[in-house]
A and B are shown apart, each in its own frame.
Chain A
Amino acid sequence: MSTKTDKIDRLAELTAQQESSSGASLWREALKRLRASKMALVGAWIIAVFLLLAIIGPWVAPYAPGQQWRGEVFVNRAEFVGARAENWFGLDHLGRDIFSRMLVGARQTLLLGVVSTLIGLSVGALIGSFSGACATLGGRVGQRIDSVVMRCIDIMLALPSLLLAVSVAAVLGQSMTTVMIAIGVVQIPVFARLLRGAMLVQGGSDYVLAAHSLGIRKRRIVLTQIMPNSLSPVIVQATLSLATAIIEAAALSFLGLGNPDSAKNPEWGVMLTQAQNYADSAPMMAVYPALAIIITALGFTLLGEAMREALDPKLRG
């Protein structure tokens, strides 16, 4: 008897030494991979710093964004005041402290990115899930509806995002809200296509077939099986879209459609656009906001890409 338990104990001990591979869910596995990813780490740090600046920026900024050093700088003077003790990044063409404006601008930029992405995400997800649901459970009529909706989405996708934004701005007039809506509208087709595509893939998968064969109602399958499993690409895209939104906002302001109220509410894109007019005399004035935009966008891109890789084992490196 005692040899038998010995035997079993020893076996259990040795078996336990072997790596256990089962048990962890897809999400937990993905999170583990995400933690191990250097890309995610760098991205998360950049985003954390950006978020911190966006929250505390306006309070810690040494000067008000609109405050001007009138005595020292004149519009179109050959040289602006560069970096110095009281103005770390120097003064801009109107004699305002660039450092302070950058700090205050972080919040505007974040707001712009988040709101526009939310617009794109919510409307796009609504259209996409509607279309996807029609396609998966609507029979022939549903598929018709789906194809009509998708044709419209394709038209939107075909148009250069800037022109779409310009069209929106033309109707709504020029304001910060317009910029947000315009960029959000541009994101709608991306999210719609993505969610619908993911739903169709999931809808064709074996576990959905299995659920069907168990007699679970179609609507329930869509809600409890297909939707949750289709969400991960949408989350990834939302992260990437934050980057796109910040870059697009800069491009819009370059086309003269940026935030008109830039004196009090500076935004990085507008600062960059204004700075380009004085590039010959003060190149650094453009470099600061440009770097801020690039690094922030990079942070979101890195995190998004890392998430995509973590969720898709095929892409793992």
Chain B
Amino acid sequence: MLRFVVRRLLQLIPTLLGLSVLLFIWLNRLPGGPASAILGEKATEAEVARINRALGLDQPVYVQYGRFIKRLIEGDLGTSTQTGQPVMDEFLLRFPATVELSLMAIVLAVAVGVPLGYFAAKRRGGWLDVAAVSSSLIGICIPVFFLAFMLRTVFSVNLGWFPSYGRLTTGINATEVTGLAVLDGLLTGEFDATWDALSHLILPAIALASIPVAVIVRMTRASVLEVLGEDYVRTAESKGLRKGVVRTRHVLRNALLPVITSVGLLTGSLLSGAVLTESVFTFGGIGSFIRTAIDGRDYPVLVGFIMFIAMAYVLINLLVDLAYSLIDPRVRVH
């Protein structure tokens, strides 16, 4: 098990190296080069020259790349041109909000998607099946930002059921422990803070969950349909086992294996969605920050974010593989 984890982590290194090369090339290809990337497009020539010297751009490419890598390894992602703060600090500050939102969205997607997919498959061709399949098809066709926007307009602005922006209502005292507002409230016993955080979270989470739900419903449905036709389910039925036992132990346990994998692969699209959703709800996470970074051409932030996402993606899929191997004895890792 440990060896497997270590091996996978070692595999991460060439991936990140490859990515860093791509990013380095990308940075150098930017119109105006890194200097204007750092200074913005309105930099004067003198400023550019100064920055170029400071960045060592007068030196050979491999030296430049070496320095680039060295800084990355040290965790120095540069300085945000918008805020003037180190990119790493900005990320650490905003990271918990995005984690909380993404977790909530995934939990929501699984909680809704798996039962819906299961019952759709079980009553194939019935009204629930038709409804589940067609709504998941429509679900992936609605642009996430538009859905977020509609939810906000209808439920926050017009109906006033939920707050329309931010993570916490100003004035509510919340002690920070983990940075996940809902969890913090529960841990410290500040239940009003929990409630407030939850009400801020629910609409963005629904918007962000729309695509994962659609994917999970269809994945679960297809997988359950396949498993229902398997011989071992027939064996389980032939033993006269209770419906619940057949369902959980024999059908779902097998059918959820591919669903688990797909949840891992959804990470990428979830973060894309987070950028869009967070900026609609001005939710103070990395997503909103990236949105402004795109507007302001804040390249150090974008580079850092890309590196960061690649790592998150690999790590999450590592976790998924570990979970998979715990459930499926055929792929036990050693």
User: Which positions in A face B, CB cutoff 8 Å?
Assistant: 151-152, 154-155, 157-163, 166-167, 170-171, 173, 243, 247, 250-251, 254-257, 269, 272, 276, 279-280, 283, 286, 290, 293-295, 297-298, 301-302, 305, 314-315, 317
A301 in contact with B141 given A161-B268, A315-B222, A317-B125 (CB within 8 Å): yes
Are A257 and B137 in contact, with the CB atoms below 8 A?
Answer: no
In the assembled complex, the Cα of A155 lies from the Cα of B146 at a distance in Å of 28
Interface centre among B22, B291, B295, B306 (most CB of A within 10 A): B306
B294 at the interface (CB under 8 A from A): yes
In the assembled complex, the Cα of A161 lies from the Cα of B313 at a distance in Å of 13
B271 at the interface (CB under 8 A from A): yes
Are A256 and B295 in contact, with the CB atoms below 8 A?
Answer: yes
Q: Kindly list chain A residues whose C-beta atoms are within 8 Å of the C-beta of B141.
A: 243, 247, 293-295, 297-298, 301
Contact bitstring B135-158, A, C-beta under 8 A = 1, else 0: 001101111111001000100010
User: What total count of A-B pairs have CB within 8 Å?
Assistant: 116
Are A159 and B268 in contact, with the CB atoms below 8 A?
Answer: yes
A155 in contact with B310 given A255-B291, A286-B146 (CB within 8 Å): yes
A171 in contact with B26 given A159-B268, A294-B138, A301-B140 (CB within 8 Å): yes
Contact bitstring B278-322, A, C-beta under 8 A = 1, else 0: 000000000000110011010100100110011001100000000
| 23 pairs, A vs B, C-beta closer than 8 Å | A151-B15, A154-B15, A155-B19, A158-B309, A158-B314, A160-B275, A161-B268, A163-B275, A173-B31, A243-B140, A251-B143, A251-B144, A251-B272, A251-B276, A255-B291, A269-B143, A272-B143, A272-B146, A276-B149, A280-B157, A283-B153, A294-B138, A298-B141
B226 at the interface (CB under 8 A from A): yes
In the assembled complex, the Cα of A162 lies from the Cα of B274 at a distance in Å of 11
Known A250-B143, A251-B276; 18 more pairs at CB < 8 Å: A151-B14, A155-B15, A158-B268, A160-B271, A163-B302, A166-B294, A166-B302, A170-B30, A170-B299, A170-B302, A171-B30, A250-B145, A255-B291, A293-B141, A295-B141, A298-B141, A315-B225, A317-B124
Q: Kindly list chain B residues whose C-beta atoms are within 8 Å of the C-beta of A251.
A: 143-145, 272, 276
Are B146 and A159 in contact, with the CB atoms below 8 A?
Answer: no
Are B143 and A293 in contact, with the CB atoms below 8 A?
Answer: yes
B18 at the interface (CB under 8 A from A): yes
Q: How many Å from the CB of A184 to the closest CB on chain B?
A: 17
Are B291 and A159 in contact, with the CB atoms below 8 A?
Answer: no
Q: Kindly list chain A residues whose C-beta atoms are within 8 Å of the C-beta of B225.
A: 315
In the assembled complex, the Cα of A173 lies from the Cα of B30 at a distance in Å of 9
In the assembled complex, the Cα of A254 lies from the Cα of B207 at a distance in Å of 16
Are A158 and B313 in contact, with the CB atoms below 8 A?
Answer: yes
Q: Kindly list chain A residues whose C-beta atoms are within 8 Å of the C-beta of B290.
A: 163
B29 at the interface (CB under 8 A from A): yes
Q: Kindly list chain B residues whose C-beta atoms are within 8 Å of the C-beta of A305.
A: 137
Q: How many Å from the CB of B186 to the closest CB on chain A?
A: 30
Q: Kindly list chain B residues whose C-beta atoms are within 8 Å of the C-beta of A158.
A: 267-268, 309-310, 313-314
Q: Kindly list chain A residues whose C-beta atoms are within 8 Å of the C-beta of B276.
A: 162, 251, 254-255
Q: How many Å from the CB of B324 to the closest CB on chain A?
A: 17
Are B305 and A163 in contact, with the CB atoms below 8 A?
Answer: yes
Are B294 and A161 in contact, with the CB atoms below 8 A?
Answer: no
Are A254 and B295 in contact, with the CB atoms below 8 A?
Answer: no
Q: Kindly list chain A residues whose C-beta atoms are within 8 Å of the C-beta of B144.
A: 251
Q: Which of A154, A171, A315 contacts B31 (CB 8 A)?
A: A171
Q: How many Å from the CB of B84 to the closest CB on chain A?
A: 21
Q: Kindly list chain B residues whose C-beta atoms are within 8 Å of the C-beta of A255.
A: 275-276, 291, 294-295
Which residue of chain A lies nearest to B14 when distances are taken between CB atoms in the complex? A151
Q: Kindly list chain A residues whose C-beta atoms are within 8 Å of the C-beta of B188.
A: none
A170 in contact with B314 given A159-B306, A160-B269, A161-B272 (CB within 8 Å): no
In the assembled complex, the Cα of A116 lies from the Cα of B22 at a distance in Å of 22
Q: Kindly list chain B residues whose C-beta atoms are within 8 Å of the C-beta of A247.
A: 141, 143
In the assembled complex, the Cα of A173 lies from the Cα of B275 at a distance in Å of 21
Which residue of chain B lies nearest to A161 when distances are taken between CB atoms in the complex? B272
Q: Kindly list chain B residues whose C-beta atoms are within 8 Å of the C-beta of A279.
A: 149, 153
Which residue of chain A lies nearest to B314 when distances are taken between CB atoms in the complex? A158
Are B272 and A160 in contact, with the CB atoms below 8 A?
Answer: yes
Which residue of chain A lies nearest to B271 when distances are taken between CB atoms in the complex? A160
Q: Kindly list chain B residues whose C-beta atoms are within 8 Å of the C-beta of A314.
A: 226
In the assembled complex, the Cα of A243 lies from the Cα of B143 at a distance in Å of 11
Q: How many Å from the CB of A146 to the closest CB on chain B?
A: 15
Q: Which of A152, A162, A294 contacts B18 (CB 8 A)?
A: A152
In the assembled complex, the Cα of A276 lies from the Cα of B226 at a distance in Å of 43
Q: Kindly list chain A residues whose C-beta atoms are within 8 Å of the C-beta of B140.
A: 243, 301
Q: Kindly list chain B residues whose C-beta atoms are within 8 Å of the C-beta of A280.
A: 153, 157
